[in-house]
Amino acid sequence: MNWGVLHSIATVSAFVAFIGVAWWAYSPKNKKRFEEDAQLALDDRDTQTLSSDQRTKDIQ
């Protein structure tokens, strides 16, 4: 296997990863979550008043 083949495999792998991330980011099922996360900087609620489930929603 020469360098050209390895570069081609790396390029295709990077492209597939990019498509996967783009699909995940623009998936309709993630829209509500991303809209909520976008409002976090503007949210006045203190993290002390949030339950542990609300603070760790991404971990589950």
- Per-residue pLDDT reduced to its tens digit, 5-22: 999 999 999 999 999 999
Evaluate if pTM is beyond 0.85.
no
Contacts of 55 (CB under 8 A, 6+ apart): 47
**How much is the mean pLDDT over the chain?**
82
Q: What is the distance between the alpha carbons of residues 21 and 54, in angstroms, rounded to a whole number? A: 25
Is the pLDDT confidence value at 3 over 80? yes
Is the pLDDT confidence value at 55 over 70? no
DSSP string, 1-56: --HHHHHHHHHHHHHHHHHHHHHHHT-GGGHHHHHHHHTGGG----GGGS-HHHHT
